Amino acid sequence: MANEREVTIYDIAKKLNISATTVSRGLQDHPSISKKTKKKIFDLADEIGYRINHFARNLRNQKTNTIGIIVPRLNSYFMSSVIAGIENVANDHGYGLLISQSSESFGKEISSAKTMFDSRVDGLLTSLAFDTADLKHFEHFFKKNIPVIFFDRVMEHENSTSILIDNRQAAYNATNHLIEQGCKKIVHITAPILQNVYKDRLKGYKEALSQHKIKFREEYVIVTDLSQEAGAEAAQAILKMKPVPDGIFVSNDSCAVGCMLALKQNGISIPEDIAFVGFNNDPISKVIEPNLTTINYSGYEMGQTAARHLINHFNGTSPINCTNTIVLRSELIIRSSSLKKGK
């Protein structure tokens, strides 16, 4: 069966015996068209299956009302919370979302950025992949004055804004808490330190050790992809350490849980033998036994802040540049995994 011809404004105009210009203005809710006529236009358009060609209209207006989002992983509780926060604000202001994941690959991030640019997004919200080394793939956006905001994992650029937490302070608080519990041999499980997030968390970890005159040991820093499987692998390396560490600070909860489970299977008691602190306050942190001490910061709030700042920029009320770094709050949530017996 042949495809039916696309319904046009001329079909509506003919049926209602009005001009195509009137139909066009009515569909755009133009004030010069009466409410009665608008209702007739919309009712008939709905009845005969007319579809507004937003794409053509947007090309004329040089605007797509679309916000691009590039995240490292979609199967992350934190990132899905960020996207939910972005969507909440974007939808309220009439913007749709185009979402892509880099899968923690610099190459895929470059490809995603090109897709976003070619799709003519009005602005871009991005959290960088583990191995992103520079921002050259965003230069087309900067040259065209298309706003780019980096969140969580960020790099500074004179034409962008960063939204993040104080990762150094959060990591300091996490490590300091373990030290206060009597831990002196503390392992830090992290990701490659190309990104601010992991660089700053390592810095906070080192500062807490230094303040308590505990020697930093390079072999106590385990670099992984922070997956749950990587946590289990890290546990095997930890079991071979002499002496076995008495505290572990992990840069995300999923990896921390993988490590905890593997250590427990090998007879390690948590927190009596090894105390644990994670990061992100994922739901899994309250399911694992004992419950995981962690750093809490809201992905939803970060998403809302990023979207609101971008839309304010569209409206001319919020400039985007490197001097504008927005730091959100975080807090240490203490649970059983880090509380040594008698503490």
Q: Are 45 and 78 found together in one domain?
A: no
Is 57 inside a domain boundary? no
Q: Are 204 and 237 found together in one domain?
A: yes
Is 161 inside a domain boundary? yes
Average pLDDT of 134-138?
95
Tell me: the pLDDT tens digits for 113-131?
Answer: 999 998 889 999 999 999 9
Q: Are 183 and 205 found together in one domain?
A: yes
What is the pLDDT of the chain when averaged over all its residues?
91
* CATH number where 271 lies: 3.40.50.2300
The pLDDT assigned to 28 comes to: 80
Q: Is pLDDT of 292 > 70?
A: yes
Total structural domains in the chain? 3
User: Among candidates 28, 20, 96, 89, which has minimal Cα distance to 57?
Assistant: 28
Is 88 inside a domain boundary? yes
Query: Please, what's the b/e burial string for 202-215 (b: 16 or more CB within 10 A of its CB; e: otherwise)?
Result: bbbbbbbbeeeebe
* CATH number where 40 lies: 1.10.260.40
Residue 61 pLDDT grade (very low, low, confident, very high; cuts 50, 70, 90) = low
Q: Are 281 and 186 found together in one domain?
A: yes
- Asked if 319 and 313 touch (Cβ cutoff 8 Å), the reply is yes
Residue 301 CA to its chain's centroid (Å): 10
The pLDDT assigned to 278 comes to: 98
**Range of 26's domain?**
9-52
Q: Are 155 and 186 found together in one domain?
A: no
Tell me: the pLDDT tens digits for 171-206?
Answer: 999 999 999 999 999 999 999 988 899 999 999 999
Is 2 inside a domain boundary? no
Q: Are 96 and 195 found together in one domain?
A: no
Is 126 inside a domain boundary? yes
Residue 339 pLDDT grade (very low, low, confident, very high; cuts 50, 70, 90) = very high
Q: Are 128 and 231 found together in one domain?
A: no
Q: Are 190 and 273 found together in one domain?
A: yes
DSSP result, 93-115: TT-EEEEEE-TT-HHHHHHHHHH
Whether pTM > 0.95 for this model: the answer is no
What's the CA gap between 40 and 282, in Å, rounded? 51
Q: Is pLDDT of 312 > 70?
A: yes
Q: Is pLDDT of 279 > 60?
A: yes
What's the CA gap between 147 and 67, in Å, rounded? 10
Q: Are 308 and 254 found together in one domain?
A: no
Instruction: Copy the structure tokens of residue 256.
Output: 């921390």
Instruction: Copy the structure tokens of residue 297.
Output: 């910061």
Q: Are 179 and 278 found together in one domain?
A: yes
What's the CA gap between 23 and 96, in Å, rounded? 25
The pLDDT assigned to 59 comes to: 52
Lowest mean pLDDT among 83-92, 134-143, 288-297, 312-321: 312-321
Q: Is pLDDT of 2 > 50?
A: no
What's the CA gap between 271 and 177, in Å, rounded? 13
Q: Is the sign of the CA dihedral 79, 315, 59, 158 positive or negative?
A: negative
Is 3 inside a domain boundary? no
Answer with the residue of higher pLDDT: 7 or 92.
92
The pLDDT assigned to 1 comes to: 40
Helix (H/G/I), strand (E/B), else coil: 185: coil
What's the CA gap between 173 and 157, in Å, rounded? 29
Q: Are 24 and 142 found together in one domain?
A: no
Q: Are 173 and 286 found together in one domain?
A: yes
